[in-house]
A and B are shown apart, each in its own frame.
Chain A
């Protein structure tokens, strides 16, 4: 993940009036851009019915494979459906899968990583073996295998991606828990008589969760890619629910006749992935003490 360090990071120079909100946002422009793009996509997805006069499945036979126009700003696909409408409805699926899979994997990965790092011993050993095993499969292959077992659909995809992510998140958290477990403030709290539960939740977890949050944001970017990939393969959400990946598949045959029905979903996927990468990279700058701005 060292790659993201190369993204334009927030400036190290001290702003003359750091209390101003604008300056604060500008200094964290990677994060700001990510949050703004995600907010935009969320609004497009949630308010989709208000933002388009069309429905995502109505076919306009008089406008098949049309280019961008005032009626259809992104053009229409091979069945005469409005591409813009389908793109913004597809964001509902992308965002639900990203949030759902990462949320679910945090729910399982955080307790596992915390316990493994804090207790060590056999809990740790067992977890690390399970992690080794799950990491022996490329992520999308593991997801495809789980879909082969569980069948297809949005819920299955969320679960399949979450299963891939749990070990990744658990391992990141375990690493940072190990780093703070024996620090002076934890020892101090222990000396004052804090129990294990209190130590873990009040002292260890808040001081070690940072890298996990960053990783979670980056995994949301990957979740969007995996969702699009699975849907492209026809293993994701089922029609008529629109999905960006499935749109590429549907329009693959028309690529010679009209580029628009392919181009806009491609750009939409890239934008979504970029947004979450910016979020992750911005959060890293914000949470990493060696980083900028503080």
Chain B
């Protein structure tokens, strides 16, 4: 138990430099961007006097290191800065955009995992069989068609041609749960397909390795049913690589979100960031990038801890 706690502690400590480095990068983002934020904020009301006042008010006349710590302190208190155009606090914007992004990501990942694991297990039980070859086809499609291209093709087929589903826009879950899901079907499929391929292939490879081991032969000799062997014994022992790939793919999914939200006009963090880049609304870019990177780091941390829960040997083997 103490070694487990020590492992968790060590892993948490490892996240600290990454978090700090990430925050410095994101902070630098706004200071490296061309143009003067004071000038941008004042727009037509620009005068040297007003600029000096605002510069002081925004704290931009202070040393850069002091500015960094003020900014970091603000973040820790939930102050992510303000929209340059609407002057809305970013935390308000995030309250609207983040749920959209999270819903999309979690639904896509949930769907992918639910499809991929049975598919991978079935493919591993009969290599070269029908399921295995179908999976090969899905994989080829999944890796060749980028998510936003798949999204466009799905709109083309299901929205523009067949008129079965709405092409874009978003209805909040609280307003109409069913309509909300109906609008998310196509985005979720376009994000999820590639993930089905990655997760199922990893499951298949891991299962093939486990199924070849002696204790599986022993279980078969004991007369345990194949399905029970596959799901209860083999899958549990082959779960580590699957968990890893889900963690890694979560990051890909967050990246994919950014583009797919723009394909389907979903008002998530990704669309917010892209709109802000076009409008040179740098505090929004900064805050959005920070939030996505933060989620990503937390997911990686969580994956590693889950890893430990699945394989307690790690805490002692790892020094």
Q: Which residues of A contact B142 (CB under 8 A)?
A: 3
Closest residue on chain B to residue A228 by CB atoms: B146
Asked if A137 meets B145 with Cβ closer than 8 Å, knowing A232-B259, A255-B167, A259-B161, the reply is no
Residues A255 and B160 in contact, CB atoms below 8 Å apart: yes
Across the interface, B144 reaches (CB within 8 A) one of A147, A149, A248, A274, namely: A274
Which B245-263 residues have a C-beta within 8 angstroms of A? 245, 251-252, 254-256, 258-259, 262-263
Q: Is A99's beta carbon under 8 Å from chain B?
A: no
Contact with A along B120-164 (1 / 0, CB 8 A): 000000000000000110011011111011001101100111000
Residues B292 and A259 in contact, CB atoms below 8 Å apart: no
Asked if A233 meets B259 with Cβ closer than 8 Å, knowing A133-B18, A225-B146, the reply is yes
Q: Is B21's beta carbon under 8 Å from chain A?
A: yes
Q: Which residues of B contact A62 (CB under 8 A)?
A: none
Q: Which residues of B contact A255 (CB under 8 A)?
A: 152, 155-156, 159-160, 167
Q: Which residues of B contact A274 (CB under 8 A)?
A: 140, 143-144
**What distance in Å separates the Cβ of A227 from its nearest Cβ neighbour in chain B?**
10
Q: Is B51's beta carbon under 8 Å from chain A?
A: no
CA distance A8 to B255 in the complex (A): 29
Q: Which residues of B contact A221 (CB under 8 A)?
A: 143
Q: Is A127's beta carbon under 8 Å from chain B?
A: no
Across the interface, A138 reaches (CB within 8 A) one of B153, B245, B254, namely: B254
- Count how many chain A residues have C-beta atoms less than 8 Å from C-beta atoms of the other chain: 45
**What distance in Å separates the Cβ of B261 from its nearest Cβ neighbour in chain A?**
10
CA distance A144 to B254 in the complex (A): 13
Q: Which residues of A contact B262 (CB under 8 A)?
A: 232-233
Q: Which residues of A contact B245 (CB under 8 A)?
A: 2
Q: Is A198's beta carbon under 8 Å from chain B?
A: no
Residues B146 and A140 in contact, CB atoms below 8 Å apart: no
Residues A148 and B152 in contact, CB atoms below 8 Å apart: no
Across the interface, B293 reaches (CB within 8 A) one of A137, A148, A248, namely: A137
Q: Which residues of B contact A151 (CB under 8 A)?
A: 34
CA distance A235 to B255 in the complex (A): 15
Contact with B along A256-279 (1 / 0, CB 8 A): 100100110010011101100100
Consensus secondary structure, chain B interface: helix
Asked if A5 meets B201 with Cβ closer than 8 Å, knowing A145-B29, A148-B285, A252-B152, the reply is yes
Segment with Cβ contacts to A, from B64-72, B75-83, B176-184, B273-281: B273-281
Asked if A147 meets B277 with Cβ closer than 8 Å, knowing A136-B297, A259-B156, the reply is yes
CA distance A38 to B285 in the complex (A): 36
**What distance in Å separates the Cβ of A207 from its nearest Cβ neighbour in chain B?**
26
CA distance A194 to B10 in the complex (A): 41
Residues B259 and A133 in contact, CB atoms below 8 Å apart: no
Q: Which residues of B contact A3 (CB under 8 A)?
A: 139, 142-143, 197-198, 201-202
Residues B289 and A6 in contact, CB atoms below 8 Å apart: no
Across the interface, B149 reaches (CB within 8 A) one of A6, A144, A270, namely: A270
Residues A248 and B255 in contact, CB atoms below 8 Å apart: no
Contact with A along B33-46 (1 / 0, CB 8 A): 11000000000000
Residues B22 and A248 in contact, CB atoms below 8 Å apart: no
Closest residue on chain B to residue A139 by CB atoms: B255
Q: Which residues of B contact A145 (CB under 8 A)?
A: 25-26, 29, 285, 289
Closest residue on chain B to residue A1 by CB atoms: B198
Q: Which residues of B contact A137 (CB under 8 A)?
A: 22, 289, 292-293, 296
Q: Is B13's beta carbon under 8 Å from chain A?
A: no
Asked if A273 meets B152 with Cβ closer than 8 Å, knowing A6-B139, A148-B282, the reply is no
Closest residue on chain A to residue B14 by CB atoms: A132
Q: Which residues of A contact B255 (CB under 8 A)?
A: 138-141
Across the interface, B22 reaches (CB within 8 A) one of A133, A225, A252, A256, namely: A133
Contact with B along A201-213 (1 / 0, CB 8 A): 0000000000000
Interface residues, chain A, with chain B CB atoms under 8 Å away:
2-8, 129, 132-133, 136-141, 144-145, 147-149, 151, 221, 225, 228-229, 232-235, 245, 248, 252, 255-256, 259, 262-263, 266, 269-271, 273-274, 277
Known contacts A136-B300, A274-B143, then 4 further A-B pairs from the complex at CB < 8 Å, ordered by chain A residue: A138-B255, A234-B278, A255-B160, A274-B140
* Cross-chain pairs A/B with CB under 8 angstroms, 17 sampled: A5-B201, A133-B21, A136-B22, A136-B297, A140-B255, A141-B254, A141-B255, A145-B29, A148-B277, A149-B29, A232-B262, A234-B278, A255-B155, A256-B160, A269-B149, A270-B146, A274-B143
5 shortest A-B CB distances, which residue pairs? A138-B255, A274-B144, A133-B21, A225-B146, A140-B255
